[in-house]
Structure 1
Protein backbone atom coordinates (compact mmCIF):
# COMPACT_ATOMS: atom_id res chain seq x y z
CA UNK A 1 0.00 0.00 0.00
CA UNK A 2 1.50 3.35 -1.04
CA UNK A 3 0.49 6.63 0.58
CA UNK A 4 0.49 9.99 -1.16
CA UNK A 5 0.55 13.21 0.83
CA UNK A 6 -1.88 15.91 -0.19
CA UNK A 7 -2.96 19.40 0.84
CA UNK A 8 -6.30 21.00 0.20
CA UNK A 9 -8.20 24.04 1.40
CA UNK A 10 -11.34 23.73 3.43
CA UNK A 11 -13.86 26.45 2.59
CA UNK A 12 -16.11 27.22 5.50
CA UNK A 13 -18.86 29.74 5.82
CA UNK A 14 -16.30 32.37 6.75
CA UNK A 15 -12.93 33.22 5.17
CA UNK A 16 -11.39 33.01 8.65
CA UNK A 17 -12.30 29.33 8.79
CA UNK A 18 -10.21 28.47 5.76
CA UNK A 19 -7.19 26.44 6.78
CA UNK A 20 -4.89 23.97 5.08
CA UNK A 21 -5.70 20.34 5.80
CA UNK A 22 -3.05 17.70 5.31
CA UNK A 23 -3.67 14.03 4.84
CA UNK A 24 -2.94 11.01 2.76
CA UNK A 25 -4.59 9.24 -0.12
CA UNK A 26 -4.18 5.47 -0.10
CA UNK A 27 -3.34 3.93 -3.42
CA UNK A 28 -4.42 0.30 -3.65
CA UNK A 29 -1.75 -2.39 -4.02
CA UNK A 30 -3.29 -3.53 -7.29
CA UNK A 31 -3.22 -0.03 -8.77
CA UNK A 32 0.32 0.55 -7.52
CA UNK A 33 1.44 -2.75 -9.07
CA UNK A 34 0.07 -1.64 -12.42
CA UNK A 35 2.00 1.61 -12.10
CA UNK A 36 5.21 -0.19 -11.19
CA UNK A 37 5.11 -2.97 -13.79
CA UNK A 38 6.75 -0.70 -16.39
CA UNK A 39 10.40 0.14 -15.79
CA UNK A 40 10.85 3.87 -16.40
CA UNK A 41 13.63 6.22 -15.42
CA UNK A 42 12.98 9.11 -13.07
CA UNK A 43 12.96 11.58 -15.98
CA UNK A 44 10.54 9.39 -17.90
CA UNK A 45 8.23 9.16 -14.88
CA UNK A 46 8.25 12.97 -14.63
CA UNK A 47 7.44 13.22 -18.34
CA UNK A 48 4.46 10.87 -17.87
CA UNK A 49 3.19 12.95 -14.94
CA UNK A 50 3.45 16.15 -16.99
CA UNK A 51 1.40 14.67 -19.83
CA UNK A 52 -1.18 12.88 -17.69
CA UNK A 53 -4.67 14.31 -18.14
CA UNK A 54 -6.12 16.08 -15.12
CA UNK A 55 -8.73 14.05 -13.29
CA UNK A 56 -12.29 15.23 -12.86
CA UNK A 57 -11.57 15.91 -9.18
CA UNK A 58 -8.63 18.16 -10.04
CA UNK A 59 -10.64 20.10 -12.62
CA UNK A 60 -13.51 20.45 -10.14
CA UNK A 61 -11.18 21.83 -7.49
CA UNK A 62 -9.50 24.30 -9.87
CA UNK A 63 -12.87 25.66 -11.00
CA UNK A 64 -14.24 25.67 -7.44
CA UNK A 65 -11.31 27.66 -6.07
CA UNK A 66 -11.57 30.15 -8.92
CA UNK A 67 -15.29 30.51 -8.23
CA UNK A 68 -14.62 30.99 -4.53
CA UNK A 69 -12.19 33.81 -5.33
CA UNK A 70 -14.79 35.46 -7.57
CA UNK A 71 -17.41 35.26 -4.82
CA UNK A 72 -15.05 37.16 -2.50
CA UNK A 73 -14.33 40.03 -4.91
CA UNK A 74 -15.37 43.53 -3.77
CA UNK A 75 -18.67 44.88 -5.04
CA UNK A 76 -17.06 47.68 -7.05
CA UNK A 77 -14.71 45.23 -8.77
CA UNK A 78 -17.58 42.99 -9.84
CA UNK A 79 -19.61 45.94 -11.14
CA UNK A 80 -16.79 47.45 -13.20
CA UNK A 81 -15.68 44.07 -14.52
CA UNK A 82 -19.28 43.18 -15.40
CA UNK A 83 -19.78 46.51 -17.13
CA UNK A 84 -16.61 45.98 -19.16
CA UNK A 85 -17.80 42.46 -19.97
CA UNK A 86 -21.10 43.80 -21.30
CA UNK A 87 -19.33 46.39 -23.43
CA UNK A 88 -16.84 43.84 -24.77
CA UNK A 89 -19.44 41.17 -25.57
CA UNK A 90 -21.17 43.69 -27.85
CA UNK A 91 -18.32 43.19 -30.31
CA UNK A 92 -19.73 39.71 -30.95
CA UNK A 93 -22.82 41.30 -32.50
CA UNK A 94 -20.66 43.68 -34.52
CA UNK A 95 -18.28 40.94 -35.67
CA UNK A 96 -21.00 38.59 -36.85
CA UNK A 97 -23.03 41.39 -38.44
CA UNK A 98 -20.05 42.77 -40.38
CA UNK A 99 -19.08 39.36 -41.77
CA UNK A 100 -22.67 38.55 -42.69
CA UNK A 101 -23.10 41.88 -44.50
CA UNK A 102 -19.99 41.24 -46.62
CA UNK A 103 -20.89 37.68 -47.63
CA UNK A 104 -23.17 36.53 -50.45
CA UNK A 105 -26.46 34.91 -49.50
CA UNK A 106 -25.59 31.22 -49.63
CA UNK A 107 -26.03 28.12 -47.46
CA UNK A 108 -22.47 28.40 -46.14
CA UNK A 109 -22.35 32.15 -45.45
CA UNK A 110 -23.71 31.75 -41.91
CA UNK A 111 -20.90 29.31 -41.10
CA UNK A 112 -18.35 32.00 -41.91
CA UNK A 113 -20.28 34.86 -40.32
CA UNK A 114 -20.59 32.88 -37.09
CA UNK A 115 -16.84 33.20 -36.61
CA UNK A 116 -17.39 36.89 -35.86
CA UNK A 117 -19.64 35.95 -32.95
CA UNK A 118 -16.65 34.55 -31.06
CA UNK A 119 -14.93 37.95 -30.97
CA UNK A 120 -16.56 39.33 -27.83
CA UNK A 121 -16.30 36.05 -25.96
CA UNK A 122 -12.58 35.81 -26.68
CA UNK A 123 -12.08 39.32 -25.28
CA UNK A 124 -14.19 38.65 -22.20
CA UNK A 125 -12.98 35.16 -21.27
CA UNK A 126 -9.29 35.54 -22.10
CA UNK A 127 -9.32 39.05 -20.61
CA UNK A 128 -10.75 37.84 -17.30
CA UNK A 129 -13.87 40.03 -17.44
CA UNK A 130 -17.09 39.09 -15.68
CA UNK A 131 -19.75 37.36 -17.78
CA UNK A 132 -22.92 36.11 -16.14
CA UNK A 133 -23.11 32.83 -18.06
CA UNK A 134 -19.62 31.78 -16.98
CA UNK A 135 -20.60 32.17 -13.34
CA UNK A 136 -23.43 29.65 -13.77
CA UNK A 137 -20.67 27.03 -13.30
CA UNK A 138 -17.68 28.51 -11.47
CA UNK A 139 -19.64 30.41 -8.83
CA UNK A 140 -22.04 27.50 -8.28
CA UNK A 141 -19.44 24.82 -7.45
CA UNK A 142 -18.42 26.41 -4.11
CA UNK A 143 -22.09 26.41 -3.11
CA UNK A 144 -22.63 22.83 -4.30
CA UNK A 145 -19.54 21.70 -2.38
CA UNK A 146 -20.32 23.63 0.81
CA UNK A 147 -24.02 24.55 0.81
CA UNK A 148 -24.91 27.10 3.42
CA UNK A 149 -26.73 30.37 3.90
CA UNK A 150 -23.61 32.50 3.50
CA UNK A 151 -22.43 30.75 0.34
CA UNK A 152 -25.88 31.02 -1.23
CA UNK A 153 -25.94 34.70 -0.32
CA UNK A 154 -22.52 35.22 -1.92
CA UNK A 155 -23.71 33.48 -5.08
CA UNK A 156 -26.86 35.59 -5.37
CA UNK A 157 -24.83 38.75 -4.75
CA UNK A 158 -22.41 37.93 -7.57
CA UNK A 159 -25.19 36.90 -9.96
CA UNK A 160 -27.21 40.09 -9.37
CA UNK A 161 -24.23 42.46 -9.60
CA UNK A 162 -22.71 40.85 -12.69
CA UNK A 163 -26.00 40.44 -14.53
CA UNK A 164 -27.06 44.06 -13.98
CA UNK A 165 -23.59 45.31 -14.95
CA UNK A 166 -23.58 43.15 -18.10
CA UNK A 167 -27.00 44.52 -19.07
CA UNK A 168 -25.84 48.09 -18.47
CA UNK A 169 -22.79 47.50 -20.68
CA UNK A 170 -24.76 46.09 -23.60
CA UNK A 171 -27.42 48.79 -23.28
CA UNK A 172 -24.75 51.51 -23.33
CA UNK A 173 -23.21 50.23 -26.55
CA UNK A 174 -26.62 49.72 -28.19
CA UNK A 175 -27.59 53.30 -27.34
CA UNK A 176 -24.33 54.79 -28.61
CA UNK A 177 -24.52 52.73 -31.79
CA UNK A 178 -28.16 53.57 -32.51
CA UNK A 179 -27.61 57.31 -32.21
CA UNK A 180 -24.48 57.28 -34.34
CA UNK A 181 -22.04 58.11 -31.56
CA UNK A 182 -19.84 55.11 -32.37
CA UNK A 183 -19.34 53.20 -35.59
CA UNK A 184 -20.73 54.02 -39.02
CA UNK A 185 -24.33 53.97 -40.33
CA UNK A 186 -23.67 50.76 -42.27
CA UNK A 187 -22.56 49.08 -39.04
CA UNK A 188 -25.86 49.97 -37.37
CA UNK A 189 -27.78 48.66 -40.38
CA UNK A 190 -25.87 45.38 -40.35
CA UNK A 191 -26.36 44.92 -36.61
CA UNK A 192 -30.08 45.68 -36.85
CA UNK A 193 -30.50 43.15 -39.65
CA UNK A 194 -28.80 40.52 -37.50
CA UNK A 195 -30.79 41.46 -34.39
CA UNK A 196 -34.18 41.04 -36.06
CA UNK A 197 -33.83 37.28 -35.80
CA UNK A 198 -34.81 37.63 -32.13
CA UNK A 199 -38.27 38.73 -33.22
CA UNK A 200 -38.86 35.33 -34.81
CA UNK A 201 -39.00 33.43 -31.49
CA UNK A 202 -41.58 33.49 -28.72
CA UNK A 203 -40.89 33.07 -24.99
CA UNK A 204 -40.86 29.26 -24.91
CA UNK A 205 -38.76 28.93 -28.06
CA UNK A 206 -36.19 31.34 -26.63
CA UNK A 207 -35.95 29.31 -23.41
CA UNK A 208 -35.34 26.15 -25.43
CA UNK A 209 -32.68 27.85 -27.55
CA UNK A 210 -30.99 29.28 -24.46
CA UNK A 211 -30.47 25.93 -22.71
CA UNK A 212 -27.73 24.68 -25.10
CA UNK A 213 -26.04 28.08 -24.98
CA UNK A 214 -25.95 27.94 -21.18
CA UNK A 215 -24.50 24.44 -21.28
CA UNK A 216 -21.78 25.39 -23.78
CA UNK A 217 -20.80 28.52 -21.83
CA UNK A 218 -20.57 26.55 -18.59
CA UNK A 219 -18.27 24.14 -20.41
CA UNK A 220 -15.76 26.96 -21.04
CA UNK A 221 -14.45 27.31 -17.44
CA UNK A 222 -14.66 23.52 -16.97
CA UNK A 223 -12.46 22.77 -19.98
CA UNK A 224 -9.99 25.62 -19.42
CA UNK A 225 -7.84 23.89 -16.75
CA UNK A 226 -7.10 21.05 -19.18
CA UNK A 227 -6.60 23.22 -22.27
CA UNK A 228 -2.79 23.48 -21.84
CA UNK A 229 -2.21 26.64 -23.82
CA UNK A 230 -5.18 26.11 -26.16
CA UNK A 231 -7.53 28.50 -24.37
CA UNK A 232 -8.15 30.51 -27.54
CA UNK A 233 -9.48 27.47 -29.38
CA UNK A 234 -11.60 26.32 -26.43
CA UNK A 235 -13.44 29.65 -26.36
CA UNK A 236 -13.57 29.92 -30.15
CA UNK A 237 -15.05 26.47 -30.79
CA UNK A 238 -17.61 26.46 -27.98
CA UNK A 239 -18.93 29.97 -28.70
CA UNK A 240 -18.77 29.41 -32.47
CA UNK A 241 -21.33 26.63 -32.16
CA UNK A 242 -23.60 28.89 -30.12
CA UNK A 243 -23.78 31.10 -33.20
CA UNK A 244 -24.03 28.22 -35.69
CA UNK A 245 -26.92 26.71 -33.74
CA UNK A 246 -28.73 30.02 -33.43
CA UNK A 247 -28.81 29.52 -29.65
CA UNK A 248 -29.80 32.34 -27.30
CA UNK A 249 -27.12 33.85 -25.07
CA UNK A 250 -28.62 36.27 -22.57
CA UNK A 251 -25.79 38.83 -22.49
CA UNK A 252 -24.93 38.93 -26.20
CA UNK A 253 -28.64 38.69 -27.04
CA UNK A 254 -29.44 41.62 -24.74
CA UNK A 255 -27.28 43.84 -26.94
CA UNK A 256 -29.45 42.89 -29.91
CA UNK A 257 -32.66 43.36 -27.90
CA UNK A 258 -31.63 46.84 -26.69
CA UNK A 259 -30.67 47.86 -30.24
CA UNK A 260 -34.11 46.85 -31.50
CA UNK A 261 -35.63 48.87 -28.65
CA UNK A 262 -33.68 52.05 -29.40
CA UNK A 263 -34.46 51.64 -33.11
CA UNK A 264 -38.17 51.53 -32.28
CA UNK A 265 -38.71 48.01 -33.62
CA UNK A 266 -39.82 46.57 -30.29
CA UNK A 267 -40.84 47.87 -26.87
CA UNK A 268 -38.66 47.93 -23.77
CA UNK A 269 -41.09 45.54 -22.08
CA UNK A 270 -40.90 43.00 -24.89
CA UNK A 271 -37.10 43.28 -25.02
CA UNK A 272 -36.74 42.74 -21.26
CA UNK A 273 -39.44 40.14 -20.66
CA UNK A 274 -39.94 38.56 -24.08
CA UNK A 275 -36.29 38.25 -25.18
CA UNK A 276 -33.86 38.69 -22.26
CA UNK A 277 -35.83 36.97 -19.48
CA UNK A 278 -36.42 33.67 -21.35
CA UNK A 279 -32.76 33.64 -22.44
CA UNK A 280 -31.74 34.14 -18.81
CA UNK A 281 -33.95 31.26 -17.68
CA UNK A 282 -32.63 28.92 -20.36
CA UNK A 283 -28.99 29.83 -19.74
CA UNK A 284 -29.34 29.14 -16.00
CA UNK A 285 -31.04 25.80 -16.70
CA UNK A 286 -28.32 24.76 -19.13
CA UNK A 287 -25.37 26.15 -17.19
CA UNK A 288 -26.36 25.42 -13.60
CA UNK A 289 -29.19 22.91 -13.81
CA UNK A 290 -27.44 20.65 -16.30
CA UNK A 291 -23.72 21.27 -16.48
CA UNK A 292 -22.75 22.51 -13.01
CA UNK A 293 -24.81 20.06 -10.97
CA UNK A 294 -23.83 17.10 -13.15
CA UNK A 295 -20.16 18.12 -13.05
CA UNK A 296 -20.34 18.23 -9.26
CA UNK A 297 -22.35 15.03 -8.92
CA UNK A 298 -19.74 12.97 -10.81
CA UNK A 299 -17.04 13.73 -8.23
CA UNK A 300 -19.12 14.30 -5.07
CA UNK A 301 -18.35 10.88 -3.61
CA UNK A 302 -14.63 11.23 -4.37
CA UNK A 303 -14.06 14.67 -2.87
Structure 2
Protein backbone atom coordinates (compact mmCIF):
# COMPACT_ATOMS: atom_id res chain seq x y z
CA UNK A 1 0.00 0.00 0.00
CA UNK A 2 1.24 3.48 -0.86
CA UNK A 3 2.00 5.59 2.21
CA UNK A 4 1.32 9.32 2.61
CA UNK A 5 5.06 9.94 2.26
CA UNK A 6 5.18 7.98 -1.00
CA UNK A 7 2.21 9.95 -2.33
CA UNK A 8 3.91 13.24 -1.43
CA UNK A 9 7.15 12.13 -3.12
CA UNK A 10 5.25 11.11 -6.25
CA UNK A 11 3.40 14.42 -6.35
CA UNK A 12 6.64 16.38 -5.84
CA UNK A 13 8.34 14.41 -8.60
CA UNK A 14 5.63 15.41 -11.05
CA UNK A 15 5.84 19.14 -10.25
CA UNK A 16 8.21 21.62 -11.89
CA UNK A 17 10.86 23.02 -9.55
CA UNK A 18 9.30 26.47 -9.35
CA UNK A 19 6.06 25.03 -7.90
CA UNK A 20 7.73 22.88 -5.24
CA UNK A 21 7.82 25.58 -2.56
CA UNK A 22 4.01 25.66 -2.47
CA UNK A 23 3.88 21.92 -1.77
CA UNK A 24 6.85 21.58 0.56
CA UNK A 25 6.84 22.70 4.20
CA UNK A 26 9.90 24.97 3.69
CA UNK A 27 12.25 26.32 1.04
CA UNK A 28 14.93 23.97 2.36
CA UNK A 29 12.60 21.05 1.66
CA UNK A 30 12.03 22.30 -1.89
CA UNK A 31 15.79 22.55 -2.53
CA UNK A 32 16.20 19.10 -0.98
CA UNK A 33 13.69 17.70 -3.47
CA UNK A 34 15.42 19.40 -6.43
CA UNK A 35 18.75 17.91 -5.34
CA UNK A 36 17.11 14.51 -4.85
CA UNK A 37 15.85 14.55 -8.45
CA UNK A 38 19.24 15.58 -9.77
CA UNK A 39 20.97 13.01 -7.58
CA UNK A 40 18.73 10.25 -8.90
CA UNK A 41 19.66 11.21 -12.46
CA UNK A 42 23.37 11.16 -11.61
CA UNK A 43 23.13 7.79 -9.87
CA UNK A 44 21.37 6.33 -12.91
CA UNK A 45 23.92 7.52 -15.50
CA UNK A 46 26.21 5.06 -17.24
CA UNK A 47 29.73 4.84 -15.83
CA UNK A 48 31.33 5.77 -19.16
CA UNK A 49 29.23 8.92 -19.47
CA UNK A 50 30.14 9.91 -15.93
CA UNK A 51 33.82 9.20 -16.52
CA UNK A 52 34.13 11.26 -19.71
CA UNK A 53 32.27 14.17 -18.12
CA UNK A 54 34.55 13.91 -15.08
CA UNK A 55 37.65 13.74 -17.29
CA UNK A 56 36.55 16.92 -19.03
CA UNK A 57 35.82 18.44 -15.63
CA UNK A 58 39.32 17.62 -14.38
CA UNK A 59 40.89 19.29 -17.41
CA UNK A 60 38.65 22.33 -17.02
CA UNK A 61 39.52 22.60 -13.31
CA UNK A 62 43.13 23.25 -14.34
CA UNK A 63 41.97 26.77 -15.20
CA UNK A 64 42.16 27.47 -11.47
CA UNK A 65 45.91 26.84 -11.48
CA UNK A 66 46.39 28.58 -14.82
CA UNK A 67 44.55 31.76 -13.82
CA UNK A 68 46.10 31.91 -10.37
CA UNK A 69 49.59 31.34 -11.76
CA UNK A 70 49.21 34.03 -14.42
CA UNK A 71 47.88 36.49 -11.85
CA UNK A 72 50.75 35.75 -9.46
CA UNK A 73 53.36 36.05 -12.21
CA UNK A 74 52.08 39.41 -13.43
CA UNK A 75 50.94 41.15 -10.26
CA UNK A 76 53.31 43.76 -8.85
CA UNK A 77 54.63 43.25 -5.33
CA UNK A 78 51.81 44.84 -3.36
CA UNK A 79 50.45 44.26 0.10
CA UNK A 80 47.56 41.79 0.12
CA UNK A 81 48.17 40.99 -3.56
CA UNK A 82 47.10 37.40 -2.76
CA UNK A 83 43.51 38.69 -2.50
CA UNK A 84 43.66 39.54 -6.21
CA UNK A 85 45.57 36.39 -7.11
CA UNK A 86 42.95 34.26 -5.35
CA UNK A 87 40.33 35.41 -7.88
CA UNK A 88 42.02 33.11 -10.38
CA UNK A 89 41.21 30.10 -8.20
CA UNK A 90 37.51 30.54 -8.93
CA UNK A 91 37.88 30.18 -12.72
CA UNK A 92 37.93 26.37 -12.85
CA UNK A 93 34.86 26.01 -10.66
CA UNK A 94 32.90 28.61 -12.61
CA UNK A 95 33.58 26.98 -15.97
CA UNK A 96 33.04 23.41 -14.75
CA UNK A 97 29.67 24.24 -13.17
CA UNK A 98 28.56 26.44 -16.09
CA UNK A 99 29.45 23.59 -18.50
CA UNK A 100 27.60 20.98 -16.42
CA UNK A 101 30.70 18.80 -16.11
CA UNK A 102 31.18 16.33 -13.27
CA UNK A 103 33.07 17.56 -10.20
CA UNK A 104 33.73 15.19 -7.31
CA UNK A 105 32.99 17.61 -4.47
CA UNK A 106 29.61 18.50 -5.97
CA UNK A 107 28.85 14.80 -5.73
CA UNK A 108 29.47 14.70 -1.98
CA UNK A 109 26.01 16.27 -1.60
CA UNK A 110 23.79 15.89 -4.71
CA UNK A 111 23.66 12.07 -5.13
CA UNK A 112 23.87 11.60 -1.37
CA UNK A 113 20.37 13.05 -0.89
CA UNK A 114 18.46 10.17 -2.57
CA UNK A 115 20.64 7.68 -0.65
CA UNK A 116 19.76 9.37 2.64
CA UNK A 117 16.13 9.50 1.54
CA UNK A 118 15.98 5.79 0.82
CA UNK A 119 19.06 4.09 2.32
CA UNK A 120 19.78 0.61 0.97
CA UNK A 121 22.79 -1.46 0.00
CA UNK A 122 21.90 -0.97 -3.65
CA UNK A 123 21.78 2.82 -3.37
CA UNK A 124 25.02 2.90 -1.37
CA UNK A 125 26.69 0.77 -4.06
CA UNK A 126 25.44 3.17 -6.76
CA UNK A 127 26.82 6.12 -4.77
CA UNK A 128 30.23 4.51 -4.34
CA UNK A 129 30.32 3.67 -8.06
CA UNK A 130 29.58 7.29 -8.92
CA UNK A 131 32.15 8.64 -6.44
CA UNK A 132 34.87 6.31 -7.70
CA UNK A 133 34.15 7.04 -11.34
CA UNK A 134 34.00 10.81 -10.96
CA UNK A 135 37.02 11.05 -8.67
CA UNK A 136 39.11 8.92 -11.04
CA UNK A 137 37.98 10.94 -14.07
CA UNK A 138 38.67 14.27 -12.37
CA UNK A 139 42.15 13.22 -11.24
CA UNK A 140 43.12 11.73 -14.60
CA UNK A 141 41.86 14.84 -16.40
CA UNK A 142 43.82 17.03 -14.00
CA UNK A 143 46.97 14.97 -14.52
CA UNK A 144 46.62 15.31 -18.29
CA UNK A 145 46.40 19.09 -17.93
CA UNK A 146 49.38 19.19 -15.54
CA UNK A 147 51.47 17.10 -17.94
CA UNK A 148 50.66 19.49 -20.79
CA UNK A 149 51.68 22.48 -18.65
CA UNK A 150 55.02 20.84 -17.81
CA UNK A 151 56.00 19.41 -21.18
CA UNK A 152 54.68 21.98 -23.66
CA UNK A 153 56.06 25.54 -23.88
CA UNK A 154 52.74 27.24 -23.14
CA UNK A 155 53.65 29.77 -20.46
CA UNK A 156 56.35 32.23 -19.57
CA UNK A 157 59.14 31.26 -17.17
CA UNK A 158 57.57 33.53 -14.56
CA UNK A 159 54.21 31.73 -14.85
CA UNK A 160 55.87 28.31 -14.64
CA UNK A 161 57.64 29.45 -11.48
CA UNK A 162 54.32 30.67 -10.09
CA UNK A 163 52.79 27.21 -10.74
CA UNK A 164 55.66 25.67 -8.74
CA UNK A 165 55.27 28.18 -5.92
CA UNK A 166 51.53 27.59 -5.60
CA UNK A 167 51.94 23.81 -5.68
CA UNK A 168 54.81 23.75 -3.19
CA UNK A 169 52.78 25.88 -0.79
CA UNK A 170 50.04 23.25 -0.80
CA UNK A 171 52.47 20.44 0.04
CA UNK A 172 53.83 22.34 3.03
CA UNK A 173 50.73 21.27 4.97
CA UNK A 174 50.72 18.22 7.22
CA UNK A 175 48.26 15.36 6.58
CA UNK A 176 46.21 16.56 9.57
CA UNK A 177 46.03 20.08 8.11
CA UNK A 178 45.05 18.57 4.76
CA UNK A 179 42.22 16.62 6.38
CA UNK A 180 40.83 19.43 8.54
CA UNK A 181 41.14 22.00 5.75
CA UNK A 182 39.46 19.52 3.40
CA UNK A 183 36.50 19.30 5.77
CA UNK A 184 36.03 23.07 5.52
CA UNK A 185 36.34 23.20 1.72
CA UNK A 186 34.00 20.19 1.34
CA UNK A 187 31.43 21.87 3.55
CA UNK A 188 31.73 25.17 1.64
CA UNK A 189 31.34 23.51 -1.77
CA UNK A 190 28.33 21.54 -0.51
CA UNK A 191 26.82 24.78 0.81
CA UNK A 192 27.43 26.34 -2.59
CA UNK A 193 25.66 23.47 -4.37
CA UNK A 194 22.65 23.78 -2.05
CA UNK A 195 22.58 27.58 -2.45
CA UNK A 196 22.74 27.63 -6.25
CA UNK A 197 19.80 25.23 -6.44
CA UNK A 198 17.87 27.47 -4.09
CA UNK A 199 18.73 30.66 -6.00
CA UNK A 200 19.38 29.62 -9.59
CA UNK A 201 19.52 33.19 -10.93
CA UNK A 202 22.57 33.91 -8.74
CA UNK A 203 24.48 30.75 -9.62
CA UNK A 204 27.73 32.31 -10.86
CA UNK A 205 28.08 34.91 -8.06
CA UNK A 206 27.49 32.16 -5.50
CA UNK A 207 30.10 29.92 -7.13
CA UNK A 208 32.56 32.82 -7.12
CA UNK A 209 31.95 33.72 -3.48
CA UNK A 210 32.20 30.16 -2.15
CA UNK A 211 35.34 29.23 -4.10
CA UNK A 212 37.00 32.59 -3.45
CA UNK A 213 36.60 31.95 0.28
CA UNK A 214 38.16 28.50 -0.19
CA UNK A 215 41.11 30.18 -1.93
CA UNK A 216 41.77 32.97 0.57
CA UNK A 217 41.19 30.59 3.47
CA UNK A 218 43.84 28.27 1.98
CA UNK A 219 41.58 25.23 2.39
CA UNK A 220 42.72 22.30 0.19
CA UNK A 221 40.35 20.96 -2.46
CA UNK A 222 40.95 17.45 -3.77
CA UNK A 223 40.62 18.23 -7.50
CA UNK A 224 42.38 21.60 -7.69
CA UNK A 225 45.03 20.24 -5.34
CA UNK A 226 45.51 17.06 -7.37
CA UNK A 227 46.43 19.18 -10.40
CA UNK A 228 48.99 21.11 -8.35
CA UNK A 229 50.44 17.91 -6.88
CA UNK A 230 50.56 16.26 -10.33
CA UNK A 231 52.47 19.32 -11.59
CA UNK A 232 55.02 18.79 -8.80
CA UNK A 233 55.33 15.08 -9.62
CA UNK A 234 55.96 15.76 -13.29
CA UNK A 235 58.58 18.32 -12.25
CA UNK A 236 60.16 15.69 -9.95
CA UNK A 237 59.46 17.96 -6.97
CA UNK A 238 57.43 15.38 -5.01
CA UNK A 239 56.92 11.62 -4.97
CA UNK A 240 53.91 9.38 -5.48
CA UNK A 241 53.80 8.25 -1.80
CA UNK A 242 53.90 11.89 -0.66
CA UNK A 243 51.14 12.77 -3.11
CA UNK A 244 48.97 9.91 -1.83
CA UNK A 245 49.54 10.00 1.92
CA UNK A 246 50.17 13.68 2.55
CA UNK A 247 47.63 15.09 0.08
CA UNK A 248 45.20 12.83 -1.75
CA UNK A 249 43.90 10.49 0.95
CA UNK A 250 43.53 13.09 3.76
CA UNK A 251 41.92 15.74 1.52
CA UNK A 252 39.55 13.27 -0.15
CA UNK A 253 38.26 12.05 3.19
CA UNK A 254 38.11 15.63 4.50
CA UNK A 255 36.03 16.75 1.52
CA UNK A 256 33.68 13.78 1.97
CA UNK A 257 33.27 14.45 5.70
CA UNK A 258 32.60 18.15 5.12
CA UNK A 259 30.25 17.69 2.19
CA UNK A 260 28.42 14.52 3.19
CA UNK A 261 28.74 13.75 6.90
CA UNK A 262 28.30 17.36 7.97
CA UNK A 263 26.37 19.35 5.37
CA UNK A 264 24.26 16.79 3.48
CA UNK A 265 23.32 14.79 6.58
CA UNK A 266 22.45 17.84 8.71
CA UNK A 267 20.44 19.42 5.88
CA UNK A 268 18.62 16.14 5.33
CA UNK A 269 17.76 15.89 9.02
CA UNK A 270 16.46 19.48 8.93
CA UNK A 271 14.13 18.64 6.04
CA UNK A 272 12.96 15.42 7.69
CA UNK A 273 12.06 17.43 10.79
CA UNK A 274 10.09 19.90 8.64
CA UNK A 275 8.18 17.04 7.00
CA UNK A 276 7.33 15.40 10.32
CA UNK A 277 5.93 18.70 11.62
CA UNK A 278 3.90 19.36 8.47
Query: Structure 1 length normalisation: TM-score?
Result: 0.81
Unaligned runs of 5+ in 2: 1-6, 16-20
Counterpart-to-counterpart distance in 1, 2:98 and 2:264:
21
Higher relative contact order (CA 8 A, sep 6+): 2
Does the aligned pair in 2 maintain the 1:79–1:161 contact within 8 Å? yes
Counterpart-to-counterpart distance in 1, 2:186 and 2:79:
26
Residues 100-119 of structure 1: pairs in structure 2 closer than 5 A: 100-119=72-91
Q: Which residue of 2 aligns with 1:36?
A: none
Q: Which residue of 1 aligns with 2:248?
A: 276
Q: Which residue of 2 aligns with 1:84?
A: 56
Q: Which residue of 2 aligns with 1:75?
A: 47
- 2:257 corresponds, among 273, 280, 285, to 285
Counterpart-to-counterpart distance in 2, 1:290 and 1:73:
26
Q: Deviation per CA, 1:203-245: give whole Å up to 9, x if none.
A: 1111111111000111122011222411110100000000000
Does the aligned pair in 2 maintain the 1:171–1:258 contact within 8 Å? yes
Q: Does 1:164 align with 2:136?
A: yes
Counterpart-to-counterpart distance in 1, 2:72 and 2:13:
53
Shift of 1:68: 0.8
- 2:180 corresponds, among 208, 212, 216, to 208
Does the aligned pair in 2 maintain the 1:132–1:163 contact within 8 Å? yes
- Give the alignment's Cα RMSD to 1 decimal: 2.2
Shift of 1:189: 2.1
Counterpart-to-counterpart distance in 1, 2:33 and 2:230:
38
Does the aligned pair in 2 maintain the 1:213–1:248 contact within 8 Å? yes
Counterpart-to-counterpart distance in 2, 1:191 and 1:162:
25
Does the aligned pair in 2 maintain the 1:7–1:21 contact within 8 Å? no
Query: Structure 2 length normalisation: TM-score?
Result: 0.88
Structure number with larger C-alpha Rg:
1
Unaligned runs of 5+ in 1: 1-5, 11-18, 23-48
Q: Does 1:178 align with 2:153?
A: no
- 2:123 corresponds, among 151, 160, 163, to 151
Describe the SS at the equivalent of 2:102.
Answer: coil
Shift of 1:182: 4.2
Would you tell me which structure has more helix in proportion to its own residues? Answer: 2
Shift of 1:185: 4.0
Describe the SS at the equivalent of 2:104.
Answer: coil
